[in-house]
Copies of this chain bind each other. A is one copy, B any other.
Amino acid sequence: MEGKFKRILYGGDYNPNQWPREIWDEDMRIFRDARINSATVNVFSWARLQPSEETYDFEQLDDIVDMLSREDDDIVLATSTASLPAWMVKNYPEVARTDYEGRQHKFGQRHNACPNSPIYRKYAEALASRLAERYGSNPHVTCWHVNNEYGGECYCEHCEKAFRVWLRKKYGTLEALNAAWNMEFWGHTVYDWDEIVLPNALSEGIGTGKTAFAGISIDYRRFMSDSILANFTMERDAIRRYDKETPITTNLMGTYKGLDYFKWAKEMDIVSWDNYPRYDTPWSYTALRNDLMRGLKDAPFMLMEQTPSQQNWQQYNSLKRPGQMRAQSYQTLARGADTIQFFQLRRSKGACEKFHGAVIVHAGTEDTRVFREVKQLGTELEKLGNATLGAVNEAEVGIVFDWDNYWALEYTSGPSEDLTYVDQIQQYYQFFYDRNIAVHMIPCDADFGRYKMVVAPVLYMVKEGVKEALERYVEQGGVLVTTYMSGIVDQSDNVYLGGYPGPLRTLAGVWVEEIDALSPKQSNEVIFQDGTKASCGLLCELMHLEGAECLARYGQDFYRDMPAVTKNRYGDGTTYYIGTRMEEGLEKILESAVSDSQVKPVLEGTDGLEAVCRKKDGCSFYFVINFQDKALPVPPALAGHMDMLTGETVKAGDMLAKYDVRIVRVEDSASQE
């Protein structure tokens, strides 16, 4: 298996257009010094490329591309359509978005185009075409980067009309639409497509995150995700008319809520993303997001952006500690990245990102801690070469992540305002992370059969086919773990009647009669069969066994002694149902499931370390990283094998300092004793 690139791209966003020509040469010298081999250019240059409706000017971009080509750099060429030129907003106010409050915006900021504006679409496509025509045949153009960090939403009249078209296509008839949205409730029945209005603060929206009708609001999210995706595919197709081969991407943003990335990934040649943890973000959070980005296409991805030192837009933009950027880079590489790219190579001198870290800081010198760390990493990556390029990450566990569920669960009014989606997923992910059990983040329509264990927390919405797929999976020996607030609604947010967890009831062997909500000041506890207790809260489901075995019961309140956690045989497999948010003790349940499914960690003896394996050409590459505050021993199993970064053989008892890394190559015949 090979990746999309000939080498690990090491570079990042580069905006020479912001600088006088004499700086450029200095940049080239410094990049070489740092072993930077790639640059992402032209991300925000529409106003320069097209200074008016009739004129285009590629002179400066030609210079930039020529220069980078001479340097033999890999060019990630952006299309510049993520920020409207001022003239376009002035001439065609419709290109600017109308916000959730119903206010049409004026010129300003970025990511500001209405995705359904014909004018925007016309000119964005034209620009992408011209760029592809001009630069598509340049062999140094290694990747196309369409737009930038797609996101946001628009509530203008163009979008309203496009929404109606989208709905007509989805539902065919108003009868079907009224039924799907349960419009008989509150007498919302529509008799004409034109009666449908976008769900915002002036119509169905409640506050900024809730809605009176989840049906229309979820459909609006799907529609908006599709609308913006259509912007992407439009540019992609325009590029493809001139460049048949170069991979095309756009940079995603981890667990960003607004876009259904699994659907998007199908249209992208390679996934890329921007990784911006806060100063206090746990490493397991970035791990999940890396795994999710890899999972989108189940393939290696690009790290399009990270900061070499600090962000500027968070509350407290602390510096990355010495070694932290390197460790973060290897974490990303370990989990599937084939590139390490920074935002940005040279720090802007003005506007809102001027305090965002960069390879070359305002001082303009290489004599900085940050530069030295960038150069060290560059040197190491050069040494690492293409060994891991395109290598795969295998996993025996799949964790379901689904944007429809994300939207639906968080739109729902009740039982608790504190029920957020990603936090629930993260809690389950954490268990596997702590044990270095490799995980794939998978969509609802994944091939579950590939996994020994499938974890689907808060699988609130069970879409068409999912029930059957899960039943088939468990029947054939799979181990399924699911939780409270699962199996409740169909794709339109209509409840499956007949008793929760609806389509999962047979699988789980339980009936959930009631769902209690606890305030943060309240808690309950579960008591395991061995008598140990663990605190729980948020939601407590009142369950009845329908064939399942009870693993733990509630310890308090009127539902004391009712089952809280169950396990059910179904065919050759097992379903675990966890009816409450475990604040403690989740490991007892999941360890049992791991045991049932015979899932193994990546390596033994990795206590406290993060250990990840990528495989390629009959070799396993073990990435071992120490994120703890104290030194830890290298896993014994790696002794005798070569550390790719030093070329030295790992010895038993070798210690890893904080933030230190080993990438150990093990021939497959030799791996795991």
Q: Interface 1/0s, chain A 566-588, versus B by CB < 8 A? A: 00000000000000000000000
Q: Which residues of B contact A348 (CB under 8 A)?
A: 182, 185
Report yes or no: A203 in contact with B107, Cβ–Cβ below 8 A: yes
Taking each of A45, A215, A354, A494, which has the highest tally of chain B beta carbons within 10 Å of its own beta carbon? A354
Cβ of A412 within 8 Å of any chain B Cβ, yes or no, is yes
Residues of B near A542 (CB, < 8 A) are: 319, 369
Query: Considering the chains assembled together, what is the distance between the CA atoms of A626 and B352 in angstroms?
Result: 47
Q: Do A47 and B517 have beta carbons less than 8 Å apart?
A: no
Q: A350 with B513: in contact, given A197-B106, A416-B315 (CB under 8 Å)?
A: no
Query: What is the bound-complex CA distance between A415 and B86, given in angstroms?
Result: 29
**Of A114-122, A359-367, A466-474, A637-645, the one touching chain B:** A359-367
Q: Is A376 an interface residue (CB 8 A)?
A: no
1/0 per residue, CB under 8 A from B, across A595-607: the answer is: 0000000000000
Q: In chain A between 303 and 330, which residues have their CB closer than 8 angstroms to a CB of chain B?
A: 309-319, 321-322
Given the known interface contacts A204-B108, A414-B312, A414-B313, the answer about A185 and B101 at a Cβ–Cβ threshold of 8 Å is no
Indicate whether A52 reaches chain B with its CB closer than 8 angstroms. yes
A176 close to B (CB within 8 Å): no
Q: Does A234 contact B (CB under 8 A)?
A: no
A201 cross-chain contacts in B, Cβ below 8 A: 103
A412 to B52, alpha carbons, bound, how many Å? Answer: 31
Q: Give the docked Cα–Cα distance between A441 and B203 (Å).
A: 38
> Could you say which residues of chain B place their CB within 8 Å of the CB of A496?
362
By a CB distance below 8 angstroms, the chain B residues around A279 are 517, 519
Given A108-B204, A313-B414, A415-B355, check contact A184 B48 (CB 8 Å). Answer: yes
In the complex, what distance in Å separates the CA atom of A557 from the CA atom of B80?
41
Q: Is A280 an interface residue (CB 8 A)?
A: yes
A281 contacts chain B at the CB level, 8 A cutoff: no
Interface size class of A (residues with CB under 8 A): 35 or more
Is the beta-carbon distance between B214 and A352 smaller than 8 angstroms? yes
B202 touches A103 (CB 8 A): yes
A494 near B349: Cβ-Cβ < 8 Å: yes
Interface residues of A in 37-87 (CB under 8 A from B): 44-48, 51-52, 80, 83, 85-87
Q: A351-B215, A416-B315, A518-B316 are in contact. Are A105 and B185 (CB under 8 A)?
A: no
| A220 partner residues in chain B, CB cutoff 8 A | none
Partner-contacting stretch, out of A129-137, A389-397, A497-505 = A497-505
Complex alpha-carbon distance, A210 and B312, angstroms: 12
Asked if B351 and A186 sit within 8 Å, CB to CB, the answer is: yes
For residue A511, give the distance in angstroms from its CB to the closest CB of chain B. Answer: 7
Instruction: Take A87-B192, A103-B202, A107-B203 as given contacts and tell me if A352 and B516 are in contact as well, using a CB distance cutoff of 8 Å.
Output: no
Cβ A203 vs Cβ B355 within 8 A: no
Interface positions of A from 234 to 265, Cβ below 8 Å from B: none
Query: Are A103 and B106 neighbours in the complex by a CB distance under 8 Å?
Result: no
- Is the Cβ of B203 less than 8 Å from the Cβ of A108? yes
B519 close to A362 (CB less than 8 A):
no
| Contacting pair B86 A349 (CB below 8 A) | no
A469 to B558, CA, bound (A): 52
Q: Does A110 contact B (CB under 8 A)?
A: yes
Contacts of A309 in B (CB 8 A): 514
Give the shortest distance, in Å, between A50 (CB) and chain B (any CB): 10
Chain A, 256-285, CB within 8 A of any chain B CB: 279-280
- Docked pose: A498 CA to B349 CA in angstroms: 11
Q: Does A420 contact B (CB under 8 A)?
A: no
**Are B181 and A350 in contact, CB atoms less than 8 angstroms apart?**
yes
Q: Contact at A188–B83, with CB atoms within 8 Å?
A: yes
* Of the residues B87, B89, B416, contact of A316 by C-beta under 8 Å: B416
Whether A138 sits at the interface, judged by CB under 8 Å, is: no
Task: Determine whether A194 belongs to the interface, using a CB cutoff of 8 Å to chain B.
Answer: yes
**A449 nearest CB across to chain B (Å):** 31
A75 to B361, CA, bound (A): 60
On whether the beta carbons of A182 and B414 are closer than 8 Å, the reply is no
Asked if A534 is at the interface (CB within 8 A of a chain B CB), the reply is: no
**Docked complex Cα distance between A557 and B324 (Å):** 13
> Could you say which residues of chain B place their CB within 8 Å of the CB of A211?
352
Binary CB contact string for chain A from 208 to 229 against chain B (1 if under 8 A, 0 otherwise): 0011111100000000000000
Q: Is A547 an interface residue (CB 8 A)?
A: no
A361 CA to B314 CA in the complex, in Å? 45
Residue A356 at the chain B interface, CB threshold 8 Å: yes
Bound form: Cα–Cα A411–B315 in Å: 13
Q: Are A495 and B350 in contact (CB under 8 A)?
A: yes
- Is A195 an interface position by the 8 A CB rule? yes
Instruction: Give chain A interface residues in 511-528, CB to chain B under 8 Å.
Output: 511, 513-519, 522
Say which residue of B87, B108, B315 sits within 8 Å of A417 (CB atoms): B315
Instruction: Report which of B15, B352, B522 forms a contact with A213, defined as CB distance below 8 A.
Output: B352
Chain B residue with the shortest CB-CB distance to A84? B187
**Residue on B with the closest CB to A519?**
B316
> What is the CA–CA distance of A518 and B214 in the complex, to the nearest angstrom?
41
Q: Is the CB of A495 within 8 A of B417?
A: no
- A396-430: which have CB < 8 Å to B? 412-418
Among B203, B318, B362, which residue has its beta carbon within 8 angstroms of that of A499? Answer: B362
Residues of B with C-beta under 8 A to A495: 347, 349-350, 354, 362
Q: Which of B47, B109, B347, B416 contacts A204 (CB 8 A)?
A: B109
Is the beta-carbon distance between A18 and B499 smaller than 8 angstroms? no
Nearest B residue to A182 via CB reads B350
Given contacts A414-B355, A498-B363, contact A18 B312 (CB under 8 A): no
> Does any Cβ of B come within 8 Å of A608's Cβ?
no
Q: Are A191 and B350 in contact (CB under 8 A)?
A: no
Q: Are the CB atoms of A85 and B187 closer together than 8 Å?
A: yes
A655 at the interface (CB under 8 A from B): no
Given A355-B412, A363-B511: A191 and B51 interface contact (C-beta under 8 Å): yes
Q: Return chain B residues, CB-CB under 8 Å to A83.
A: 186-188
Residue pairs across A and B with Cβ atoms less than 8 A apart, 10 shown, are A47-B187, A52-B191, A108-B199, A211-B352, A214-B352, A314-B414, A322-B558, A349-B494, A350-B493, A361-B514
Q: 4 shortest A-B CB distances, which residue pairs? A: A182-B350, A312-B414, A108-B203, A355-B414
